Homo-oligomer: A and B are copies of this chain.
Amino acid sequence: MNILEEANEIFDNIQRVAPVVHNISNYITATDCANMTLACGGSPTMADDPEEVADISAGCNGCVINMGNTGGFLEESMLRMGRKNNELEHPVIFDPVGAGAAHRRNAVLENLMDHIRFTVIRGNISEIKYVGDKSSHAKGVDAANEDLANEDNIYEIAEYAKKISAITCSVIAISGPIDVVANADTAYLIRNGHPMMSRITGTGCMLSSAIGVFVSANPYKALEATVTAMAAYGYAGELAYEKTVRTEGGTGSLRTFLIDYMSNMNYETFLKGAKIELV
């Protein structure tokens, strides 16, 4: 099956399973992550108390660890949730928000990577570079300009993603002007999305939560489910951008419409807009 045929099954499985996905996210984007999970056809559970995360995960189909906030008990909660999902052999999605931006954050990242097997790691190129080999030019949570993908360096980035996937044993998903998703053998490029999406907070976090739904309903097809999620999300962003322009809106409307279009997304719509290249 090629990826577009796989996607058909992937959407069907989401509907059939309606996966419950345990997210530990940061308080800046948690509402949007929960709403995106629901929009994708999943059901979110956002419990973060270390005393209960294992209990809660036991009733779920997978989890998403978002490293946006690391204070207090959150590191411990992430660890316990991740390990419980490893034990259950449920998918674990990791969003290394701001990797490379601060010593403390890097220590949390290493702790998590030492103790949890991640099914998928999704970040911007700067975050993934830090995860891969501690190189990145980021300050804050946005990718550094000199790290960004473009038509000249994209095949090189795809090779890099494969290499990092081989090292981490995780599907590597890099968001950017062109998205890259790779396992050790295969990489896909996705040319969906719109630059205006980077002007709303949490577009990365919400994407990780979307991947959480797609992969939790399709645990044996983590690569294909991630590709499908990213293309669907990017296309929803394009449609949201068009409606924003049509209604003379701005970034507030874009955020609302992005969730709208994901909540209305199905295989038929996906087929019309997905731009996926196998490399």
Question: Which residue numbers of A lie inside 8 Å of B, CB to CB?
Answer: 20, 26-32, 34-35, 37-39, 43-52, 55-56, 59-60, 68-73, 77, 98, 101-105, 139-142, 199-202, 249-253, 255-264
How far does the alpha carbon of A251 sit from the alpha carbon of B47 in the complex, in Å?
A: 22
Q: Which residue among A68, A258, A259 has the maximum number of chain B CB atoms within 10 Å of its CB?
A: A259
Closest 3 CB pairs of A and B: A252-B259, A59-B139, A250-B260
Q: A174 to chain B: closest CB distance in Å?
A: 19
How far does the alpha carbon of A190 sit from the alpha carbon of B101 in the complex, in Å?
A: 39
On chain B, the residues within 8 Å of A253 by CB distance are 256-257, 260
Q: A28 to chain B: closest CB distance in Å?
A: 5
How far does the alpha carbon of A32 sit from the alpha carbon of B251 in the complex, in Å?
A: 11
Q: How many copies does the complex hold?
A: 3
Instruction: Name 19 extra pairs, CB < 8 A, besides A199-B263, A250-B262, A252-B257.
Output: A20-B142, A34-B201, A39-B251, A43-B142, A47-B102, A49-B71, A49-B104, A50-B71, A51-B71, A51-B103, A51-B104, A52-B102, A56-B140, A59-B139, A71-B77, A249-B257, A250-B260, A252-B260, A255-B259
When A31-B202, A71-B77 are in contact, do A47 and B252 touch as well, CB less than 8 Å? no
Contact (Cβ within 8 A) A72 B69: no
On chain B, the residues within 8 Å of A50 by CB distance are 71
Q: A233 to chain B: closest CB distance in Å?
A: 13
Q: A135 to chain B: closest CB distance in Å?
A: 16
On chain B, the residues within 8 Å of A32 by CB distance are 31
How far does the alpha carbon of A77 sit from the alpha carbon of B105 in the complex, in Å?
A: 15
How far does the alpha carbon of A68 sit from the alpha carbon of B62 in the complex, in Å?
A: 20
When A34-B201, A47-B102, A72-B73 are in contact, do A39 and B139 touch as well, CB less than 8 Å? no
Contact of A101 among B55, B73, B142 (CB under 8 A): B55
On chain B, the residues within 8 Å of A263 by CB distance are 199, 250-252
21 A-B pairs with CB atoms under 8 Å apart are: A27-B27, A28-B30, A31-B201, A35-B252, A37-B201, A47-B98, A47-B101, A47-B105, A49-B104, A52-B105, A56-B140, A60-B139, A71-B77, A250-B260, A250-B262, A251-B263, A252-B255, A252-B256, A253-B256, A253-B257, A255-B259
